[in-house]
Structure formats: structure tokens, C-alpha cells
Amino acid sequence: MLSIIETIAPIFMVIMVGWGLSHKKILTQEVSGPLNKIVFYLAIPVMIFEKVAHADFSANFSTTLVVGVLLAAASGFFLAVLVVSIFPVYPRHKGTFAQASFHGNIGYIGLAVAYYFLGDLGLTRASILSAFILILQNFLSVAGLQYFSNNEQTRGKFSVFLKNVAGNPVIISAVAGSAVSLAGIPIPEIISRFLHIISGMALPLALLDIGGSLSFPVIKAHWAPTLATGFIKLLFLPAAGWFLFTMMGLPHDLQLVGIILLGAPTATVTYVMAREMGGATALASSAISLNTLASALTYVLWLGIIVQ
């Protein structure tokens, strides 16, 4: 357990450094905006492409793992839909609640935990898996926001899903890297070293950027639904995944990859999608902030359970 804490704690210490820099007006909006674009459109995609392209795709791809993760993620979404259908929730909050309860921050936090806890092999497997889970997350997020929206224009925005999938750099880089790996295309050494340099800055910058985006005052006004999203996202999803993985007979090394991605906190893109599709942006911001911090504890919990 101590080794798990020693691995997970530094990740979230870097996140808190990002929050501190933002609090001290060093990591301002003028800085964090371009920084996020560098991370999202360049550094993270290059890192994923490099790891997947250099790996043996067939040796690192597991159909059983993909199916298990997708089933677990979908179950979290439908549980959230059930919750907002049974309990009194503001209509505008319903779609955002469902999205925040299952849409995880795969690119910034999930991949970081996979790399620092499992190493290059874990990052490669997580990168391949990320393409599948991101497609599902975007599809169900748009579907949920549309279903609970009272805005007719929002209901017709299936183009948001297409844009988020077809233009998602993480999905594109994972697919491109897989294609290079499957085709056996050699990457020249000079290009390989270039990719390695760029990818080296991806995770540290991503963690700083996440920290800079955290906003804690908003949590007070939305503490009840935020706690509920955290329960589903950080406890139910990994538990569902663990149950499915065990029933499917997945080895522990693959279970860890799945649990890490399922246990990722609410994605920052939930705020953007809520804003674009008439959802509750304050609730999204609250869920992102609280669940990001809480995931430091739940990651230690779940990794400890699986490793033991």
C-alpha cells in the first residue's frame, strides 16, 4: 500500500502545484488557455502515437478488456440517468449530472496514473483502450444532454458527437498509432527521438493544467449532486469494472489498466459540453474539482484492492 501511495501522491501534488500557480495568478487564463491547447492538441497525442506505434498491437490489445470497460462505463451512465429520473433534480442539471457521473478524464489523469503506476507497458495498453472508451463517453454524453434538454436546437446537435469523436486528438493518435503498429511501418530514429522529446512534456504539463482549472468555491452550492456524481464515477464504475473483469477472467495486469481508466475523475470537457448544449456549467465545474481531488484517495483504494 505504501508503494501505491508513493506513486499516486506525487501525481496529485503536481496537480496542486498547478492550482497554487493559478491561485497566485501565475497560471492565469491567458497562460492556461494556450497551455491546454499545447497539451491537448500536441503533447498528449504525440505521446499516445509514440507509445502505440512502437508497440506490438496484437500483444497489447484485449477484446475482453475493451468489452468489460465499455459495459462498466455504460452501466455508470444508466445508473446516473436512473438517479435523476427518480430523485428531484433541476431539469437543466440532469444531463450534466449523467455526464459528470461517467465521463472520465482519460487523457490527462487516466493516462498519467497508468504511466506512473504501470510504466510504458501500462501506458501503451491504456492508450489503445482510450480510443474505445472516449468514443462511448462522447456518444452517451451528447445523448444524455440532448435527452434532458428542453431546447429544440440542442436536441438536434448530434454534430457535437461527431465533432468530439472525429476531431478528438486522443482518438486520432491512438488509431493512427495502432495502424502504424499493425502495418509494421518502421519509424526513423530521428523521428522517433523527436516524438520522444515532445511526449516527455505531455503528462507534467497536463497535470499542471488540470490543477489550474480547479475551482472550489462552486462546490458549496452543489455539494449534494456533486457527491452523488463522485460516488458513481469514483466508486461504482471501478467496482462494476472489477466485477466484470473478475467474471471474465482477466489477469490482474489488464484489470489494473481498466480500473485506472474507469476510476479517472470527471473530465474537464464536461464543462465545455454543458456550456455548448445548455447544461449546468456550475455543476460540471463542481464535479470536476471535487472528483479530481477525491480520486487521489479512490485510486489508492482501488489499486490497493487489485494489487493485493
pLDDT digits (tens, 9 = 90+) for 246-276: 999 999 999 999 999 999 999 988 888 887 7
Task: Check residue 53 and give its pLDDT.
Answer: 92
* Residue 40 banded pLDDT, cuts 50, 70, 90: confident
| Domains located in the chain, CATH noted | 2-307 (1.20.1530.20)
Q: How far apart are CA 222 and CA 228, in angstroms?
A: 10
Task: Check residue 250 and give its pLDDT.
Answer: 95
CB atoms within 10 A of CB 162: 13
Q: Mean pLDDT over all residues of the chain? A: 89
Q: How far apart are CA 185 and CA 194, in angstroms?
A: 17
> What residues does 104 pair with on adjacent strands?
266
What's the pTM? 0.91
Task: Check residue 155 and give its pLDDT.
Answer: 53
pLDDT digits (tens, 9 = 90+) for 209-242: 999 888 888 888 888 899 999 999 999 999 999 9
